[in-house]
Structure 1
């Protein structure tokens, strides 16, 4: 068997094992359920709140936007996993095996994307029941939803791998989460982006979170909902273009950054980080 194929198959198997374990571990299971449940409660109380003269329901706008936000948050999960497993020596062990880094990365993609799909399902299925006014009757809506989700994961997961390679300690992850939360706040997830100053709208449009939310809204909302979007358009071409550009950037950078990070890993560096962690605990 081709060594690359063997590494991919091993990574796939590893990812499925880790994914299955995440649904049998109490802490991980709570993580999968908490955020979707919290968002469903928020949407339930917003299901009758109207927005603007068109009478759009805020809860209806919120569901697809939160789906897009959750898809984008996969890059944070990827970054956290890489940083944590770099600190505890898992990456060093992967580096020591033939094509181990390839298998490791494939495993992480399977784990993160599988967990992400489960979280979105937990959010979407009850959401379709408690939220009215969604345009889900045509196959085109579901095809658009699937296409935006796949392109969004390709655009964000490699970037998450790059970010995870930058930080040597899990404590540095706070430097990622704070800007991400800021981007969520200005990306039209919880309120139409057109209500924000124009300069904030331009900043939001430079990042994938806004475009994932827009793509999800275009898939699940009726045509009248486009009135609260920029230019009163779903901008499908721009969505594909921006997410595609992020995907290309991530796919080009991720292998380069990961190879450089792996070359710097050694037993002494892992031991040093472990000693520093123990000192912080002590």
Structure 2
């Protein structure tokens, strides 16, 4: 039965992803934020860090930020929305339905992350000079992408299980914006106070940005990083710790959330949402 649930989840995730490619609202969601980020990086192109374009340096950092957003925010949003509209309750009511549901979301978010990465990376490689494009660069980009999603998606599921309404997820965006500000995404982290550097290094966002920079930037640019190196072992270690924490805690939290789901709770959330609309 579990194998059937996994196959159903893989199929469902792929179907949902293909639907996003044919829905104008979803296509706008792919294009608009990435176009804005490209414009921001274009304005940074003339500024330099250690003789290297700040725009080119920002590109891989933004790719890492995109992985973090997909794993943390997108997963949380999907879970909360489908909890409110009853999709999660229907999954719970079928044998191994929750397993299939989670596999589907992993496929969906993973594919969405890959598309967003391509939308940014392809024009970025054309616009900015000096970025690495060798085999080693692509291999590093691949393992950072996979490990980053494994580290963040379970945490996103935990976050989503803690909220009963999509509107309350706005509370998560405030600390996320603060982390972006201190994690070296748009300027070198070494320009921030040391105590902020320690805070940033406790979370996956900084390490995803660092991992992507190590893939696409010249080795000489490691000089502006903490410790003057790309710290691949530390990147793998920190992201792996977050992955283990998430994979251990998320199933427990999700099971408890699923046990609380009922027809009456879904109806109550719908009624509450309708009252807001009125």
Give the TM-score taking structure 1 as reference length: 0.97
The answer as to 2:256 corresponding to 1:252 is no
| 1:92 alignment counterpart | 89
Q: SS where residue 18 of structure 2 aligns?
A: helix
| Deviations 1:68-126 (CA, angstroms, capped at 9, x unpaired) | 00011112000001001101111000000000000001111111111110000010011
- Cα offset for 1:39? 1.2
Alpha-carbon distance in structure 2 between the residues aligned to 1:39 and 1:267: 42
The answer as to 2:15 corresponding to 1:20 is no
- Cα offset for 1:49? 1.5
Unaligned runs of 5+ in 1: none
| 1:113 alignment counterpart | 110
| 1:234 alignment counterpart | 230
Alpha-carbon distance in structure 1 between the residues aligned to 2:167 and 2:44: 36
- Cα offset for 1:231? 1.1
| 2:274 alignment counterpart | 278
- From 159, 164, 186, the equivalent of 1:163 is 159
Q: Which moved more, 1:167-176 or 1:42-51?
A: 42-51
- Taking only aligned residues, the RMSD between alpha carbons, in angstroms, comes to 0.8
| 2:73 alignment counterpart | 76
Over 6 Å off, 4+ runs: none
| 1:219 alignment counterpart | 215
- Cα offset for 1:44? 2.0
Q: SS where residue 189 of structure 1 aligns?
A: coil
| 2:178 alignment counterpart | 182
- Cα offset for 1:56? 2.0
Alpha-carbon distance in structure 1 between the residues aligned to 2:215 and 2:277: 48
| 1:195 alignment counterpart | 191
Unaligned runs of 5+ in 2: none
- From 116, 125, 130, the equivalent of 2:127 is 130
Q: Which moved more, 1:171-180 or 1:121-130?
A: 171-180
Alpha-carbon distance in structure 1 between the residues aligned to 2:110 and 2:132: 25
Give the TM-score taking structure 2 as reference length: 0.98
Alpha-carbon distance in structure 2 between the residues aligned to 1:174 and 1:189: 21
- Cα offset for 1:57? 1.2
Alpha-carbon distance in structure 2 between the residues aligned to 1:166 and 1:191: 33
Q: Which moved more, 1:169-178 or 1:239-248?
A: 169-178
Alpha-carbon distance in structure 1 between the residues aligned to 2:187 and 2:43: 15
The answer as to 2:13 corresponding to 1:5 is no
Q: Which moved more, 1:38-47 or 1:176-185?
A: 38-47
Alpha-carbon distance in structure 1 between the residues aligned to 2:250 and 2:96: 16
Alpha-carbon distance in structure 2 between the residues aligned to 1:255 and 1:24: 32
- From 126, 148, 151, the equivalent of 2:147 is 151
Alpha-carbon distance in structure 2 between the residues aligned to 1:48 and 1:280: 47
| 2:98 alignment counterpart | 101
